[in-house]
Amino acid sequence: MSDKETGHLEHSGRADNLGILPAVNRPLKIVFLGAGSFFFNSLFVDVMNIPGADSGEMVLVDIDETRLALAQKFGVKAVEEMSKSWTVTATTDRRRALKNADYIISCIEVSGQACVRLDYDIPAKYGVDQCIGDTGGPGGLMKALRTVPVFLDVLKDVEELAPNAWVMNYTNPMSILCLASARASKAKVVGLCHSVQGTSRKLADYAGVAYQDMKWRCGGVNHIAWFTELSANGQDLYPVLLDKAVNDKETYEKDPVRFDMMRHLGYFVTESSGHFSEYVPYYRKRPGLIEKHCRKGDLGESSYYANGWPSWRVKSDDTRSKQIAGEEKIDTARSWEYASYIIEAMETNSPFVFYGTVPNTHLIENLPVDGVVEVPCLVDNSGISPTHFGTLPPQCAAICDWNMRFYDLAATACIEKSREAAIHALMLDPLTAAVCSPGEIRQMAEELFKAEKDFLPGF
């Protein structure tokens, strides 16, 4: 991905007067946790594309030995095709992997395949209809309860074995993981997502403007960040988008929930229509509303993630196998994911701006300071410096705040392994509260705890 293509992900200050880009000048040790993840291919190739990063060690970690071996073979193949000199090692022992790591990329998944149907089917009995269900609502809560304790154990190892390493987390539920980490660990953690990059490109397409001509300000919480300013060549793009939402059915149907929210709140949000529909009480509380506002796939289909995940995993492994065998081409282009650009900026002192989930140290003034927010962050060789955003429009801040109160109690539940805090968190979830009474929420939570007890040690 060229600097021009990155638009607002610009590497300011990268070139000297001769036009030579700074390059990494030392071998790096990068640890990838959850190497069986779908994200592995692109993130691995991204690292290989860092200027000057021609050698080093990528240590892959996964508890699934079959998928770990597949990831290692892919990595070796990619290194060969890209003419690099990286060593690609694999282990199920994360402590051995973490020792003296320079950077850690985390895409772990804890018991997800075993629990995904329970996360969806039990809440559905109580009228809580989910599309993705891995960040908010009952599905997001249960995933947090399974994942955060494991992640905190990982961070304990990082504190001991690689105290200077940055941990770049891609795992959901992003806000709960990052909030719990900030409260319970001294490790350096930042949450990374692709919703800002992806949505900004969609907005350029919807508005019919060149991406590199578009300017914006965006802030909020992960998956619920808002484009508070949006323009191209000095023209405000919101009137264009509002006209499309009202008069262009083809464009509206590409993102019905987000266009509807924009019509009523005035601003476009960063997460997909299907996922975002789970974070508010408006779209999924009655079958008629689901039919009116939601569509197939990630535009809001009921149980979309639970229905699709098993086949997606098989397809991902099959694609990886074919790439290893040379039957399918490995895409060696650099993606828009942030991790490799952060590593490059730190190693070369080439400032780079990305959107990350970080503690809200008064960065967004009308959101709780005991929470985490997603804001532009500047990174160079001094580390990551979140930037001050200011205030969100009050209606947008309120949606964020509502979800942050859920994250707050969910993080407490994960750290303290408190069933009561988890139940209270679910009572504050906007979608669940729109459908169920407190008694029904407690009953649903107890049923989820019972069904997933083998995956929730200590609860």
Split at pLDDT 50, 70, 90, the class of 112 is confident
Range of the domain at 187: 3-112+135-194+307-356
Residue 428 domain-assigned (yes or no)? no
Give the pLDDT confidence score for residue 25 in this predicted structure.
85
Residue 407 domain-assigned (yes or no)? no
Which residue type, as a one-letter code, is found at position 195?
A: S
Residue 430 domain-assigned (yes or no)? no
Side-chain half-sphere CA neighbours of 309 within 13 A: 19
Split at pLDDT 50, 70, 90, the class of 266 is very high
Mean local confidence (pLDDT), 236-250:
97
Mean local confidence (pLDDT), 223-229:
98
Mean local confidence (pLDDT), 118-140:
98
Mean local confidence (pLDDT), 46-65:
97
Residue 107 domain-assigned (yes or no)? yes
For 393-449, the pLDDT digits (tens) are 999 999 999 999 999 999 999 999 999 999 999 999 999 999 999 999 999 999 999
Beta-bridge partner residues of 85: 55
Q: Give yes or no for residue 37 having a pLDDT over 90.
A: yes
Average pLDDT score, the chain: 95
Give the pLDDT confidence score for residue 130 in this predicted structure.
98
Residue partners of 434: CB distance under 8 A and separation at least 6: 281, 282, 285
Q: Would you give the DSSP letter of residue 26? A: S
Q: Give yes or no for residue 5 having a pLDDT over 70.
A: no
Mean local confidence (pLDDT), 75-90:
98
Side-chain half-sphere CA neighbours of 260 within 13 A: 18
Give the pLDDT confidence score for residue 144 in this predicted structure.
98
Residue numbers annotated as active site? 194
Q: Give yes or no for residue 363 having a pLDDT over 50.
A: yes
Split at pLDDT 50, 70, 90, the class of 22 is confident
Residue 325 domain-assigned (yes or no)? yes
Number of domains observed in the structure of the chain: 1
Interior/surface letters 353-376, b for 16+ CB within 10 angstroms, e for the rest: bbbbbbbbeebbeebbeebbbbbb
Residue 335 domain-assigned (yes or no)? yes
What share of the chain in percent tops pLDDT 70? 95
Mean local confidence (pLDDT), 140-161:
98
Contact 347, 8 (CB under 8 A): no
Entry pTM: 0.95
What share of the chain in percent tops pLDDT 90? 94
Mean local confidence (pLDDT), 183-211:
97
**CATH number of the domain to which 59 belongs:** 3.40.50.720
Least confident range from 2-11, 236-245, 420-429: namely 2-11
Split at pLDDT 50, 70, 90, the class of 20 is low
